[in-house]
Structure 1
Amino acid sequence: MRPLRNPVVQTSMAWLLSEWMRFCYATIRWTHENEQAAEEVWAEGGGVLCAFWHSRLALGPASWPMKRAQPIKGLVSLSPDGEFFTKAVARLGIPAVRGSSAKKDKAASSKGGTQALRDGLKQLKVGGLAVTPDGPRGPSRQMAEGLPLMAKLSGAPVLFIGLSCKPAIRLNSWDRAVLPLPFGKGAIVWDKAWYPEGAEMSEVVADWTERLTAVEARADAIVGLERI
């Protein structure tokens, strides 16, 4: 049995990860670029989709100021690793909507994709929903249709969030995930969009993929993290 399938191990590792993330967020020197786009959304309240690539999942909570932004939940996969990360992020104040947004996955409905869509749209009536549109299995930086579909159905704005830090640990995972280290440099770069009325889904996916990659690349450039 894989260790992360053990509930006791999950809980212990989730506690360690959440405390490590909290410590890193507090000691990193953050640079914010185009934060006004996010400030407008926070001031208005209500629904908002927050998107960042899966490799920056461990940095995501650093982009959401709990005291002045609307409540937010994260769309997290149903995998055992997803359960582990759900517990860690919940300790940081971000509960989960479980399921996959990857409409490209033919088995998505059996893994909770349909229910996740319903629950995600329900959450967007009151607050934010964080999505990694290339998760849970990739390919890296290739957007599935789940994010634009939810934006189209809900009418909620989308915040593209580029996240980076240096120094950092690069995991040997499919997305080459970035884990923060303390006392370094960090960057959060914002962009905002709505689903264009009458637009073809494929056009939106292509445009949003480019924009999300652009803010991430800009964040990497600010801190000096090598692009992979």
Structure 2
Amino acid sequence: MRPLSNPVVQSALAWTLAKWMQFCVATIRWTHENQPAAEAVWAQGGGVLCVFWHSRIALAPACWPVNRAQPAKALISLSADGEFIAKAVARQGFPAVRGSSTNKDKAQTAKGGAQALRDGLKQLKVGALAITPDGPRGPAKVMAEGLPLMAKLSGAPALFIGLSCSPAIRLKSWDRAVLPLPFGKGAVVWDRADYPEGAEMAQVVADWTARLNAVEARADALTGLKP
């Protein structure tokens, strides 16, 4: 990812990725399942955590109708590749909150995580915060505690979002990221949860991991995308 440290390369690639994502989202035939769960959150307004695995970042704009849903920001890491992703999603109307809740053994990342927590809670007072709970470096589909902690402190609901499309390119990244191709089939599956009062954090992480896996697996089943 060294080329991404160059601001010019970052901007050019971010523009290209944003345009490609917009084109694919517009031409894919989308199926939506359990959308009333999302509609209720949109109608209620206020804070909400939008949760999907890191591998589905490129599909995320398909799940958030900017004309009906709360204004959204995305929690994105402080790394060079995170800067690239932040620029790409910002071009689609989703500004970034920079930081990470993982890699707590690294002082710089931990500092970024603390700032991201503060900025994320501030965003949850007014709108939506998109978060990939296994980012920025995995392991894939292993949920960090940052997500349930934000839900507990803010009182905001978590909206688990399964995203899939087929055909698609699977990158050789740590998360096997899905890059959409146009004119295919797509699926968005929703599930809502609130932080259970008095629950142990470890139990919430386990339950929410299973529920997020379930909506993604269901979305993949709808599109035929292979694991």
- TM class by shorter-chain length? over 0.9
Partner residue of 1:12? 12
Please show how residues 111-190 of structure 1 align to structure 2 within 5 Å.
111-190=111-190
Shift of 1:2: 1.9
Amino acid at match of 2:84: F
Shift of 1:155: 0.3
Relative distance call for 1:25 and 1:14 in structure 2 (3 A) is: same
* Structure 2 residue matching 1:112: 3-state secondary structure: helix
Give the aligned CA root-mean-square deviation in angstroms. 1.1
Shift of 1:62: 1.1
Partner residue of 1:70? 70
Q: Tell me, which stretches of 5 or more residues in structure 1 are unaligned?
A: none
Query: Number of residues paired by the alignment?
Result: 226
Partner residue of 1:37? 37
- Does the Cα contact within 8 Å between 1:53 and 1:134 map onto a contact in 2? yes
Q: CA–CA distance in 2 between the matches of 1:24 and 1:101?
A: 30
* Structure 2 residue matching 1:186: 3-state secondary structure: strand
Runs of 4+ with >6 A deviation = none
Q: CA–CA distance in 1 between the matches of 2:171 and 2:196?
A: 36
Shift of 1:54: 0.5
* Structure 2 residue matching 1:165: 3-state secondary structure: strand
* Structure 1 residue matching 2:188: 3-state secondary structure: strand
Relative distance call for 1:27 and 1:84 in structure 2 (3 A) is: same
Q: CA–CA distance in 2 between the matches of 1:19 and 1:101?
A: 29
Q: CA–CA distance in 2 between the matches of 1:110 and 1:63?
A: 30
